[in-house]
Chains A and B, each alone.
Chain A
Amino acid sequence: MSGLGIFQDLFSAAVAVGTPILFTAIGEIIAEKSGVQNLGLEGMMYMGAITAFLSGLALTSSGLPSTTALIIVIILAAIVGALVASIHAFLCLSLRANQIVSGLALSILGTGLSYYIGKVFISDPTAIIKTRLTQFTFADAVQIPVVGEILRIFLNQDILVYLAYIMVILVWFYMYKTQKGLDLRAIGENPGAADAVGVNVKLSRYVYVMIGGAFAGIGGSALIISASSVGQWGQGMVAGRGWIAIALVIFARWNPKLVIWGAYLFGVAIALVSRAQVYGWFNNIYILNMVPYVATIVVLMVTFIFSKNKDIGEPEALGKPYDREER
């Protein structure tokens, strides 16, 4: 394959495998901007994945048109993600629990529950979703060399990847160009002031945490039904992507426009694991498997080292419970 061909292949794969992390990270940005940190992303992705797997198995063989079936699968995964997130919202917002420990609990709980539900499928080689999303391209019209190839990296993907592009723009627009978005940022920066001007802090945080969960659920579903996935359920399949997404939020300084590039950067690290072997660049699978995690840790450290005045752009009230009566 030509140099450009390899480049295109590696980066197309990076965009595809970066997408589940991108969805999850966008959701976390929404939740954290409202002041609630949710470390349960890993668990919510697992729940999204098992939901997508079970509903996908049932729906793609039910006679429904495959696109309709897969869209329902994505919606179901989003709903389950939101429901799981509501547990975190309840613990942190209603029971005023420590957000870090509650998030950990959610990760352990989501992982445990999905393992329990999916237990019968791990040794069943026939449990595969055969009809998955397919790639389709918008870039065929562009026949300019190199430019066309680069465009196809982004525009020869499945519908979830395109949905992710749209979501990045929508979330950015919502957060920075609408009154509701201003309120969202206000409750994460200064909930007291937001409350004073009539924003329902607790209710809003509930909603945003659940929206965050819905995104993580979609992220999890992408691991099952996207064009680049294998359509099988497996324990350990999320493999820390939820935690990488949290690192990504910090790396992107809570900015939806930056998070997309970060997600694809981590996508490269993940895509390298398989591509390096295919192209014979490097063959030690154990060392290759470390790359995404080491890259995340290094990038996270660099983000902190080079942040000016210790300000990494974190919402002021992040992780702090807000209690009207205790003010």
Chain B
Amino acid sequence: MLKVEKRMETPTYLKVVIPIVSVLVAILFSSLILLITGENALAALNTIFAGSLINWQEVLVNGVSLMIIGIGIAIAFKMVIWNIGAAGQMMMGMIFAAGVALFLHVWIPPALLLPAMFIAAIIGGGLWALISGGAKAVWNVNEVITSLLLNYVALYILQFLVNGPWKGVKSMGFPQTDPFPEAARIPTIFPTGRLHYGLLIAIIVVIVFYFLLNKSRWGYEIRVIGEGRNVARYGGMSLAKNIFIAMFASGALAGLAGAIQVSALEGRLSPHMNTDIGYTAIIVVWLSRLHPLVIGIVSVFMGALLYAETSLPAAGIPTEIAKLMQGLILFFVIAGDFFSRYKVKMVKE
């Protein structure tokens, strides 16, 4: 007979092995789905993994967004505040950054334009997150639903802007703004390829928040609140204040990621920007067990899977398999968690 026993502590090797095995099982399962539906599973895997190695710059481009958004989500999740509105917060960051780049650039010295865009995006994303964060802190309104539904609202605000008041005079009828001025563009690192200096920002964010979350008083309060609201209250910590700060920080980072993406990749605001990355980041965070440095690494892996969404159709494989694979990874990682929390033993009757 099988008997399930709760572990007192998860051995370190299991913390590494279980997520890796979970991801492998998810990949295997996705291949099976491809095979059953008559697709070439080997070609798909080859496109995803070999293609990612060849186009490593694109993988890192995705990784930049995932890292920054992922750290933001991890801040909220650590406090057991479920911010699943990163996509919308990211869009707000894009909108605020674009506003500065398009309409305020004449008053800002070129050298300060990018910092000004980042600050605007941080404020935009942070305030957008505070709609659900504030309502959670003050009235205990369910933040899962508000943050998610705000994604739709942000999307329509974006569409409204690029189809209406912000539609560019040089956009030739397309729903997009005019291109940003040169000073509003983050330069690429290499002469060819799209990898840009946003990577440095992402790495700095990961390292800074690693120390903030693990070594600072603020990080300590977040952890205590995450472990139990009552303990935190007993320890004299303000729950409402911490929810405010965490949600603002969470949204601010998503906003920053949006600004970096719009500035480095598109150079203009359009509705075709990859904001689904805000959902993918949730998977990254859970797979990383909310650990900032691990988020940095896992972001690159998930960046490869995201890149596959664009490269699969060229290989004749439906791009939707990449999305499905993301869902399966999250599913198997959650299932795998069981084995790190519980021990399954054979017991003789």
- Which residues in A have some Cβ–Cβ distance to B below 8 Å? 39, 87, 91, 95-98, 100-102, 104-106, 108-113, 115-116, 119, 239-240, 243-244, 246-247, 250, 284, 286-287, 289-290, 293-294, 296-297, 300-301, 304-305, 310, 326
Contact = CB atoms under 8 A, between A and B. Distances in A.
B177 interface: no
Interface of B: 6, 33, 37, 82, 84, 131, 135, 139-142, 144-146, 148-150, 152-153, 156-157, 159-160, 163-164, 279, 282-283, 286, 318, 320-321, 323-328, 330-331, 334-335, 337-338, 341-342
Contacts of B33: 116
Contacts of A106: 331
Contact of A105 (B6, B152, B320, B330): B330
Contact of A119 (B153, B282, B318, B341): B318
Contacts of B331: 87, 91, 105-106, 109
Nearest to B336: A95
Nearest to B327: A109
B149 A116 contact: no
Contact of B338 (A97, A109, A113): A97
Given A108-B323, A109-B330, A112-B323, 11 more contacts: A91-B334, A97-B338, A109-B328, A116-B33, A119-B318, A246-B144, A250-B145, A290-B152, A293-B152, A304-B141, A310-B140
B323 A111 contact: yes
**B interface: dominant SS:** helix
24 contacts: A91-B331, A95-B335, A95-B338, A96-B338, A96-B342, A97-B335, A98-B334, A104-B282, A105-B334, A109-B331, A111-B323, A111-B327, A112-B328, A116-B37, A247-B145, A250-B145, A284-B160, A286-B164, A293-B150, A297-B150, A300-B146, A301-B139, A301-B141, A305-B139
Contacts of B320: 112, 115-116, 119
Contacts of B334: 91, 95, 97-98, 101-102, 105
A294 B132 CA distance: 12
Contact of B153 (A97, A111, A247, A293): A293
Nearest to A296: B149
**A interface: dominant SS:** helix
B287 to A, nearest CB: 11
Interface centre among A87, A119, A239 (most CB of B within 10 A): A119
A240 B146 contact: no
Nearest to A295: B149
Contacts of B337: 95, 97
Contacts of A297: 131, 145-146, 149-150, 153
A286 B160 contact: yes
Contact of B323 (A87, A116, A240): A116
B305 to A, nearest CB: 12
Contact of A115 (B148, B163, B323): B323
Contacts of A296: 145, 149
Contacts of B140: 304, 310
Contacts of A109: 324, 327-328, 330-331
Contacts of A104: 84, 282, 330
Contacts of B146: 297, 300-301
Contacts of B338: 95-97
A112 to B, nearest CB: 4
Contacts of B148: 240, 243
B149 A100 contact: no
A286 B159 contact: yes
Contacts of B152: 239-240, 289-290, 293
B283 A108 contact: yes
Contacts of A246: 144-145
Nearest to A108: B327
B177 to A, nearest CB: 15
Contacts of A326: 6
Nearest to B280: A108
* Top 5 closest pairs, chain A to chain B, by CB: A109-B327, A286-B160, A112-B324, A95-B338, A108-B327
B30 to A, nearest CB: 10
